Amino acid sequence: MHLLFLSSLLPDDSPSTGYEIANRAIVEAYRRQGVRLTFAGFRRPGARIPRDAISLGELAIENAGASRAQKARWLVEALAGGRPVSAAKVARFHEDGLAARLAEAGSIDGLILNSIQMPAAYPGLARDFPTIFIAHNVEHRSAAENAKNARSRFTRLLYRRESALLRRAEEAVCRDALVVHTLNPDDNQGLGLSGAEKCLPLALTIGQTASPDDGVRSHDVGLIGTWSWAPNRVGLDWFVQAVAPRLPADMSIAIAGRIDGPAPAAPANVRFLGRVDDAQAFVRASRVVALATKAGTGVQLKTIETLEEGLPAVATTLAMRGISALPANIRVADEPEAFAAALVDLVAAERESRVDRIDGSAFAASQRQALDAAIRAGLDRFAAEARYADHRALQSAGGSRPAPSAEMTLARPARQG
C-alpha cells in the first residue's frame, strides 16, 4: 500500500518537540506494516528535504521563532480567509495547485492527514480522497482552554474564534475520513466520535532505548516541553508561580524547552535552559521529573518518555491522560501544596537512594505493540472502506464508468457521487 503522508511540516531528522516525536513513532509503525509512505509538507528554513518527500516550500511555522510582524500577517490572512490562524500559516496554495504538487507522489492508495492544520486549510482533501486522519489533539478544545486562560480581552476573542473554526474543521474531516486515529481514548468523545468504529486510539512510544543509569544528576527537578504552545505554557506558569515558591531554596530546578517571549518570573533556584540538544540526556540528569500539565488534550510525550525511562516523577492527573497503569515511582498531585510536597519527598528519597529508577522496557514494548495493533486495524478498515466507497461511486454512476483501479493519483478525485 502506498499512502501520501501530508503534514504541515516534513519529518525532522532530529525530532525535538512532542509533535515531531509522535510523528516519528507513527511513521515507523506504518513502515512496520509494510506501507510505503511519501511525505508532503513544508520544511523549516535550512532543513534538509527528506527522501521520498514533496517539499511545499520553506516555512517558519512556530510562534516562538516568529516576529511580531509575521504574527500580524498570519492574523490578517486568517481573518481575510475565514480560517483558523494555524491553517492560515499553511494556506499557500489554491486547492487545485496543491493537488498538482501532491500528484508528484504518483499513484497512491490514499492520504494520511496528519493533524488538523492542512485539512483546515484545504478542506477538499478529506472530502475528495480516501483518507486516514490522525488527530494529535482535540484542537478546538485546546483553543477554548486558551481563551479561558487568556490575559487580555483581544486574545480571548481570538482564541474563541479559533476554537469555533477548528471545531468546524474537525467535524468535517472526522465526517469525511474513512479512519480517525486519536492519541488518547478520551479524545474520541471530544471529536464527537465516542463509540464510532472508525475511531481508533493510538498508543505512542518514544522509540529510544533507555541507557543504564550513570548516576549523574545536574539538577533535582527537571521540566521539559515546548512552552511556546499555549496549553503547555499554562502548566509552566502554574508550576513557576504556585509550586516553585513552595520548594526549598536549595532544591535546584531546571526547565528546558522553547519559550515564546520572556521567561516567567521565578525563584532564584529555577534555571531556564531554552532548547537543549539532547532531551533524553536532560531528563536522565533529573533526580525527579515534574509533569505539570494543566491544560490540553492528546497525550503527553514527556509523560511517555518518563515512564519508558523509568524515572521518578510527580504528575498532575491531566499529565497521565491515556495512561492506565501507574508505576510505583510516580506520584499524582493536582494542588500546588501536594505537588510541591511530593517533589520534596521524592527528591529526598532519590538523594538517599530510597526510590529507584525502574525498568521501563516492558512499558515501552507494550506501547509499541498497542501502536502496531491500532495502525494495523486502521489499515484493514481503510482498505475495506475504500473498496466500499468505490463500489458506491460505481453504482451511483449507473455502471457507466469502468470499475476504479486499486490506486489513484491526486490529479483527480477518488470518490464521486
pLDDT tier for residue 392 given thresholds of 50, 70 and 90 = very low
Q: By percentage, how much of the chain surpasses pLDDT 90?
A: 56
pLDDT at 278: 84
Residue type, 162: E
pLDDT at 417: 35
Residue 96 has pLDDT above 80, yes or no: yes
Contact predicate 204/367, CB 8 Å: yes
Mean pLDDT rounded to a whole number for the chain = 87
Residue 413 has pLDDT above 70, yes or no: no
pLDDT at 324: 73
Alpha-carbon gap, residue 263 to 35, rounded angstroms: 43
pLDDT digits (tens, 9 = 90+) for 252-308: 999 998 888 788 899 999 999 988 888 888 989 999 999 999 987 877 888 888 888
Sign of CA dihedral 228, 231, 232, 235: positive
Max alpha carbon distance in the chain (Å)? 79
Q: What is the pTM of this model?
A: 0.83
pLDDT digits (tens, 9 = 90+) for 305-317: 888 888 999 999 9
Lowest pLDDT segment from 13-27, 222-236, 242-256, 365-379 = 13-27
- Give the residue, 286 or 216, on which the prediction is more confident: 286
pLDDT at 415: 43
- Give the residue, 245 or 148, on which the prediction is more confident: 245
Alpha-carbon gap, residue 133 to 171, rounded angstroms: 12
Residue 176 has pLDDT above 60, yes or no: yes
Contacts of 261 (CB under 8 A, 6+ apart): none
pLDDT at 300: 80
Contact predicate 337/246, CB 8 Å: yes
Residue 151 has pLDDT above 80, yes or no: yes
Average pLDDT of the segment spanning 239-254: 96
Q: Exposed, middle or buried, 279 (CB in 10 Å: 0-12/13-18/19+)? A: buried
Contact predicate 208/276, CB 8 Å: no
pLDDT at 407: 52
Contacts of 209 (CB under 8 A, 6+ apart): none
pLDDT tier for residue 394 given thresholds of 50, 70 and 90 = very low
pLDDT digits (tens, 9 = 90+) for 31-51: 999 999 999 999 988 888 888
pLDDT tier for residue 200 given thresholds of 50, 70 and 90 = very high
Contact predicate 56/89, CB 8 Å: no
